[in-house]
Each structure stands twice: as structure tokens, then as C-alpha cells.
Structure 1
């Protein structure tokens, strides 16, 4: 299937199959409000088939990093409305990625300075960058069963807020070692209650969050991102061939808009997921050439492909790819934090031709 063939993804009609992957850029305001820079950044990239925003915390407890946006206050909703209005004015489509970081956090990075919460009190390896420099991440506090239910409610309320803010949908971040992924894993989840131990118990939180969001805003506006076997943020998953098919069995009947998979080396699992999943599948092969990603469309492995750094560095990426124009190279030194440099100042073909 050609990348330029339109496709229906849930409630969304996409004009082509090249989506912008979620990327934390650490350029929101200290209180989690989207900034004017955020508005311009997303507006510039509205020609992508679908924009999936950076991870956005559904609650104060959900924040892990400095200067990431929130979606749990009226002010957050108003700030995001400026973003969605700007993208829609350019003809684009945008969904918000809801990301609760769980144990990948530090008290210095949150509004309330409380200990991070997680499935279990298991300290993650690694450090967290804070305003005073890198610090060891603390031992998190294990959520009680009642609190787990409360976190499900946080996702539901943030999803409702997303609709009020004008988003076209919600992507639940179940990947990269954050809270949903922590519940799925074998090492971050040492619980012995209904949320831990067996595969059926470890997928329960992901299933409850997904079901709650779908019930709140419609399954056809709900997506889930997963990264089977990804060790990022100190995650161990020796049983991906049991966990992920079980998770898909539980959520596929919901009729979600899409599943978004960060593909690792396990091609067999990807093919199994493709066979099992009944709606749109978005595949992200980070660090691989665009031609390799487009081959997934031709083979039927993917319905849509998502790209990160290429979309970051090329606001007009679809136009460049369609015309065979050269691509801007991303500058890793400006990926996280800072000002407009490496954020809203990457040139388009139009601006280049004017100089």
C-alpha cells in the first residue's frame, strides 16, 4: 500500500500514512501549560497525516520530567485548545498522548514534590535530570489497589479534558518503561494482588485504562502505544509472547482506533500482532530509513508508519518525501529543553527557497 493512499483510522480520515510520533521536547511552561512555542511547533507540522503529541501527564503524580505538559486543569485545557485550533486551521489532525511516568520520576520535577508512585516499591536504575542536575531516582511508593483504580480515573478525566481541548483523540502511553508498561513487566511489578503475578493480572491495569478512556471518548478515538521487549527505563520482559497476545485479546474487542507499536528486533511477534489486531496498526521503527518503514505498508505489516526525528527536523516532511527533496538533519543537542532553536526554526522548502 502506497504511503500516499488515504486511510481510515477509527473516527479519523487520514490523507496519507505518514504520522508524527510522540516526542518529549521539554519546552512547556513550569506549571505544565503549553507555551506559544508549542503552538507554533505543532502548527508547523500539520501536514503530517496524524500528529501524536509529546507525553502529557494526566495528573500531578504522572509527571516525571521537567517542563512537560499536563492535561488535568482548566488552564491546561485552554492552553492545549490553542494548539489544536492552530493545527486544525492548517487542516491537520492531532491526538494527545497521555503519559503517566510512574517510577521514572523525581520529587523535584513534580508540583507537589511527593515520592513517585509505581506498581511496586522497586527502584529503577538510572538518573533523572532535574533543575539541580542529574539525581538518582528514588524508591517509588507502591500504589494500593484502591489507588490503582484512582489512576484509571485520572486517565479517564484527562481523556475527557482532551476532547474539551479540541483533540481528535487520545493515545495511551503503554510503552518505554512508564506506568502502564511497568505493570506489564516482570521486574517493576512485584505485586501479589489482582494487578500482579500472572499474565492475566499484569495486563489488568492496561486493560482498565484503555477501557476507561474508550468508554469516555469513544473507542474510535482511542489508541494504545506499546513497545514489547523494550528495556528502556529498566524494564525486563521475558514473556512478551504471552503478555502482548493476552493484552490484545483483552482490548481488541473494544474496537480501538489503532494500536501503535515501537518495533524492536522481534519480527515474529510483530507478525503475530498484525494477524491478531483487527483495526489500524501504526508501526514505528526508530532509527531506520524511511524506505524501510514504507516497506511495512507495502507488505501489509503496517497501516500507518510513525516517525520521530525526521518530523522534528522537517516541518514539511510529507512534501519533502513526496517530491524527493533532501531532508534537514536533526540536531540532538537541541532535542530536550531550550528555546526556539532546534524546535521551531527548522526550515521548510518554502523558507529555504526564499533565501
Structure 2
């Protein structure tokens, strides 16, 4: 090597990547959705072949509305109600991420949405974790090792936050790394689940909160000031607290706090455009936040709905903001620094996998 490897989608696939914000029920293979639907007798799918079904998910998600975007999950969740379905989806998730060069992944899902076939919350988590471990084993055998950590999500509109928080703590030594709340933000502030967050803090457990995606700065403020989250899921609306001045960007109290405390932002470029959180990729605040040295991370959110991968997300950012390998390395290390695994494990992946991988690409 006499210089950096050219930045292409194919070469980015070779780079070691870390994803913190990936939804299990948003990353199914269309063919798997069809097969699981046949197996469980679900007959409400909008298409009968994999290609058409994949297009339907993408088109339905491109509405510009978070609420409409979330409706697509009715179909994926419906086929994830059995032990076999949960294990298969989790197994394929790990394999697909590893095939894309992801070496560390945090994948989240809401156990409360997978009880229709009679499984208990504990059984749902057990089968999902078993699928992740199977996927890790198969990925390693194929030469693409990956570590998958599971995050358990409570739905904002429901009242099971404390129950899912306790489930998180119960499984935290068995592959569950933390807790999350998700769903429509408007009308469902994070403080509705304050008892869950108080319990998690009492147990020294990690948690992130979907905030600042469809709703603005008040959602971020509550997530930080009252709930005490470790990370912000999306958080793009932090720019509501950044104004232009003659001396450059001026940060308000919340934005300053997020930057000063190195609160990670789980930014999902393609998804943020689809849900209307930002008007276009060119106007996505990712670059502004990166230049202001916020701890920005690149994420997929929902690979099926956005027809994306980590490599595609990075490639889009390169094409839009003219990033180089050193930028992608920084975003990846940002993610690993922010992972919900022990500090020595984070350092090992950074020092033994990520830095050597980018050193080769940088030439």
C-alpha cells in the first residue's frame, strides 16, 4: 500500500464498524418475513414475493412521518412471536451485520410485543439471545467475527417500563447490555417511565432513550435532566439549541451539556430523513455536530425499512460531506467508546480490531 484505499461502498464494507442503534424488528430479510408468515399463519402481508415486499417496506417508510413509519413494524413483529421465529431473526441479524463488516453491534427490541403466542417475557429474551449466539458462531466460522449486545426496549405508549427495566437487569450478565424506550415521542414524554429509570440508576444499569427525533428540545431535556440517560437515540433536534452568530455557532445550555458530558448521539441518517426528522441528507446536522466535536455515531436504525446497511450509511455520509477514512474511524471509535459493555472490552475492540483495520485502509 502506498496510500489510502479509495473510498467506495465495497471498500467501506471491509472497514470494521460498530453500530449502537439497530432495531431487530426493523432488519428482517424480506424472504424471512414471507417464510415466517407462512409458518405461523399470518396472512396480512401486503406482497407475496420477496422483491415486492422489500419495495413495499421501503415505500411505506418513506412517508416523512414517524407514526406512519412505525406502522410497517406491524408485519415484522407479527412473524416474531414464536421461539423459532425469534431465534431465526436474531441469528440472521448477527450474520447480516457481520457480513457487512460490523464487529460490534447493539441490537434492540421490545419483548412486550412478542407475547401473542403465549411466551413469557423471559422466554422471549432467552430465545432471542440464543439466536444472537448462534449468529455470532456462524459469522465467526465464516471469517467475520462479531459481538452482539442486546438492548431491551419498553414502548413509550404502554405502561410496562419498570417491568422491562427489571427484565434488563435480570439478563444483564447473559447478553443484555441496557434499556431503551421507543415509539412515537409526541404525547409520550420519557418521564412517563421515570420509575423505570430510577430503578435502572439504582442498579447501575445502562440505558438510552429515543429523544429529539420527531419531538424537539424538551424531549432531550427530559431524557437528560430527569431520566439521566447515558445516550440519546437520534438526538438530531439538539440543533434547536444551536444558533448562528457572527463568532460562529453558539450553543445553548442543553447543547453545551450534551457536548461537555460527551453524551453520545445515535444518529441514523437515512431513517432521520424518512421520518421527517430532517428534510434531506444534505441538510442533516450530522456534519455540523461532527465539526463541533459532539460525540456523533453512525447507525442504521431499521435496515429493512431504510434498505440500508452500515456501509451504505457511511458511504452516503462520505458522498455528502466528503469524509475520509480518518473521519469514519473517528465515528466508529466514538461508538465503541459509548458501548454498553465493560471498559476493557471496549478498549480491546478499539485497539485490536478497529485501529488496525483502519490503519490498513489508510495505507
Greater helix proportion: 2
TM-score, with length taken from structure 2: 0.44
Q: TM-score of the superposition, structure 1-length normalised? A: 0.45
